[in-house]
Chains A and B, each alone.
Chain A
Amino acid sequence: MNVIDPRIHQALDGELALEAVPAELRRTVARLAAAADLLAAPLPGPATSLESRVMAEIRRPAPSRARRVMRWLVTPHAIILRVRPAWSVAFAAVVAALTLFTAGQEGPELAEHEGIAQFVGRFPEAQSVHAVGTFNDWRPGSIALEDQDHDGVWRATVVLPAGTYEYMFVVDGERWVPDHLAERLVADDFGRENSIVIVRPARR
């Protein structure tokens, strides 16, 4: 701690005239006197004592309900969640089961005499593959196979009335190819072979 010259104390207390203070101390005395004046001066604006602030708050008109709701909404709140682990696990299991059992049920509703036919073919260089046969009057375009992962394997799953159908794949709109994965083939009377798919009712 610095020791202040006692003459500075005396000068600040008015016990010693400023002129009586040695010249090297006068500047320090002047700065300290200015600082003391500044501290002693009243603060600008309204009174800031605790009492006056409390009273001001009390006198302020109450905010509207909407404003209070808005303030509640935008103010951060701490939420305390008390959970029993057993219930949490049960809840998670129910959610998982619902997700698993309801996933994929938004497909078409099958009538009693309808079934599912799956068409799969490997055509690595193809741009388009269609299944064409007695199920669509041999009209290309109505059953397009898809190669979603670009691995050259084209697939389509189609709802058809139960029955027996002859078909071929039409690759790139012009190449007629039998389904090599089909278990049943029959001569098409035009020098080639048609594949046969038997669609069984899915509901039985």
Chain B
Amino acid sequence: MTRWVVLACAAFLALPLAAQSVRGRLEGRIPSAAIPAVDSLIQFASQEGLPTEPLIQKALEGGAKHVAGPRIIAAVQMSLGQLRDARDLLVRAGDQPPVLPAEMTTVAWALRRGLPAPVVERVVAALARPPRAAAMHAVADLVAHRFDPDSAAELIIEAVRDGVPQERLLDVSTGVLQQVQRGHTRAEALAIVRRELPNLPARSKPTRGNVAGARRPASPAPP
């Protein structure tokens, strides 16, 4: 009982602080007339357990691009809708609520990149959480190159089941695209890479020169 009271008090105190910090990030970055509406959309997202960072980023993006306030509000509202769709899709595919914010962001990304919802659902249902984000991007990369979404999803799911680690899933789609560049049809390219699984060409690592020349941005934000 005491634990719940403490948690409720903490939430009671944390919510206004979070709201204030969101307003602080928006002030001076988007038209001031748009701040209340954007802020309230972000509060809705927070109350529904949706991730708020994508909404903040969308508002900041609109401000940076000098977009008018009403269009910023509309874009944030659209992002909120995408996150709700993503949550519903995850639940439909079998994830137990509460759905993790990172999962919702991943699915929203996949839908925005043009993956059909049934294909996303199939990937979600087939794979555990950790490799999902990488798998969705790998499938989306292939779909962006006019591969059949179902065939692309099938290959990536198979790659995961064959033991390809999540950080190499993008190399699977890259391998398929390389086969197309060598003159194979899409179906042949998929078949060639599938035959080779779980073996993949060595991943190119950043060269010493690149690492040496790399610098950190002034204020990197979390993804």
Contacts and interface: CB of A to CB of B under 8 A. Distances in A.
Contact of B64 (A118, A140, A184, A200): A140
Given A159-B214, A161-B222, A104 B208 contact: yes
In the complex, which range does the number of interface residues on chain A fall in?
Answer: 35 or more
Contacts, number: 130
B142 to A, nearest CB: 11
Interface of B is mostly: helix
A76 B93 CA distance: 88
Interface string B159-193: 00000010100100000000000000000000000
B141 interface: yes
B86 to A, nearest CB: 14
A189 B133 contact: no
B92 interface: no
Given A164-B109, A176-B65, A186-B112, A116 B206 contact: yes
A204 interface: yes
Interface string B205-223: 1101111111111111111
Contacts of A166: 57, 61
B124 interface: no
Given A104-B208, A138-B64, A192-B65, 12 more contacts: A134-B61, A135-B217, A139-B60, A157-B214, A160-B217, A164-B109, A176-B65, A184-B144, A185-B144, A188-B65, A190-B65, A200-B170
